[in-house]
Amino acid sequence: MATVSREEVRTLLDLPLLPLLDKARAVHLAHHGDNEVQLCTLLSVKTGGCPEDCSYCPQSSHHDTAVGAERMLDVDQVIASARRAKDLGSTRFCMGAAWREVKDGPAFDRVVDMVRGVKDLGLEACATLGMLTGPQAERLKEAGLDAYNHNLDTSREAYRSIIKTRTYDDRLRTLQNVRSAGISVCCGGIIGMGEALEDRAELLRTLASLEPQPESVPINALVAVEGTPLADMPPVDPFDLVRMIAVARILMPKSRVRLSAGRSSLTREAQAMCLFAGANSIFYGEKLLTTANPEEAADLELLRTLGLTTLAPVADASGSPRHSEHACANKGAGCGHKHDHEHAHAHGEAVAE
């Protein structure tokens, strides 16, 4: 996409909602006419005790929250969770560690083994581990990592009031290391942290200006957790979330826009609007790191009601497409494909982003 200015993004954000949805829907159908939604499961493999001071995060050791520092999970525990996620229909498994940065040594070695194990299950592997050097990104790539999540959170200007222990440029540097290693980029932000509309516009402008644009763009609504500095922020207006998703869809037509944190406080109808506006990925599983997420059955029911299907799983190591019986939201409700390999082909098994 040609360079976009903050003013142009602001103009889109300011459109009345229905004309904005018309635009976003047209872009969405042109690039994602398959109506498929990717299901991603996120597991915290190392919870709490993080030295960073992100104002929104209950895992920061700077805040007095109910989330304490826990030991890192074993590889076997993580693989068991990944297998469960796959059986429930997830096709991407993301592993999160509450670290400022990756440090070479036994903990990183363990993450590398986790990535290998997740790949052996035929899932896409994603990780979010904090800052990453070039050689560390290359090591993760060699282990089979498909994507790395590293959010910009908000605008460069607002970033300073949300996080003081690192800079926006630190963030951008890690994104560059991820790109250079050939790993796909998952990068988005959070609304509801007290930012101005200008900040939302600038966040979207920055994301859309990354070259290439991120393959995945998670859009989060703040989950205000007791004990964090943002605990008393008012809830996000669901229409604001719909607006962010719609503009993200217009600016980043090929990206998978992910309806992420904050979904458990949305009604089914609000979630439906987000999906209509261009979201085509959700976090799936009852927990999102340390906060609540809708139950899997409710998600599949919603997708079925809307006539959406779930993205077929990737091929396994032998090259055979895999498909879980649970994965099709249209199963038994008008999906004409058989729930077997034919289905995987029909729904596009090549899901590398």
Using CB under 6 A as the criterion, which residues of the chain lie in contact with ligand SF4 when the complex forms? 50, 52, 54, 57, 59-60, 98, 130
Assigned token pair, 317: 């190591």
- Catalytic residue check, 258: yes
Q: Select 35 or 61, whichever has its Cβ closest to ligand SF4.
A: 61
- Catalytic residue check, 186: yes
Q: Select 57 or 175, whichever has its Cβ closest to ligand SF4.
A: 57
- Catalytic residue check, 274: no
Please choose, from the candidates 260, 259, 261, 197, the residue with its C-alpha nearest in 3D space to the C-alpha of residue 223. 261
- Identified catalytic residue from 50, 187, 274, 328: 50
- Min dist CB 57 to ligand SF4, Å, is 3
- Min dist CB 55 to ligand SF4, Å, is 9
- Min dist CB 93 to ligand SF4, Å, is 18
- Identified catalytic residue from 94, 187, 274, 328: 94
Q: Select 114 or 129, whichever has its Cβ closest to ligand SF4.
A: 129
- Min dist CB 39 to ligand SF4, Å, is 23
Q: Select 5 or 165, whichever has its Cβ closest to ligand SF4.
A: 165
- Min dist CB 112 to ligand SF4, Å, is 20
* Type of residue at 236: V
Q: Select 216 or 310, whichever has its Cβ closest to ligand SF4.
A: 216
- Min dist CB 301 to ligand SF4, Å, is 31
Q: Select 50 or 143, whichever has its Cβ closest to ligand SF4.
A: 50
- Identified catalytic residue from 171, 249, 258, 322: 258
Residues 291 and 225 sit within 8 Å (Cβ to Cβ): yes
- Identified catalytic residue from 40, 126, 274, 328: 126
Q: Select 37 or 222, whichever has its Cβ closest to ligand SF4.
A: 222
Rounded to whole angstroms, the Cα distance separating 348 from 159 reads: 38
- Identified catalytic residue from 92, 171, 186, 274: 186
Q: Are strands 184-186 and 279-283 parallel, antiparallel or unpaired?
A: unpaired
- Min dist CB 63 to ligand SF4, Å, is 8
How many other β-carbons are positioned within 10 Å of the β-carbon of residue 40?
A: 27
- Catalytic residue check, 328: no
- Catalytic residue check, 187: no
SS in 3 state form for the chain?
Answer: CCCCCHHHHHHHHCCCHHHHHHHHHHHHHHHCCCCEEEEEEEEEEECCCECCCCCCCCCECCCCCCCCCCCCCCHHHHHHHHHHHHHCCCCEEEEEECCCECCCCHHHHHHHHHHHHHHHCCCEEEEECCECCHHHHHHHHHHCCCEEECCCECCHHHHHHHCCCCCHHHHHHHHHHHHHCCCEEECCEEECCCCCHHHHHHHHHHHHHCCCCCCEEEEEECCCCCCCCCCCCCCCCHHHHHHHHHHHHHHCCCCEEEECCCHHHCCHHHHHHHHHHCEEEEECCCEECCEECCCHHHHHHHHHHHCCEECCCCECCCCCECCCCCCCCCCCCCCCCCCCHHHHHHCCCCCCC
Rounded to whole angstroms, the Cα distance separating 164 from 147 reads: 26
* Type of residue at 53: D
The residues annotated as belonging to the active site are 50, 54, 57, 94, 126, 186, 258
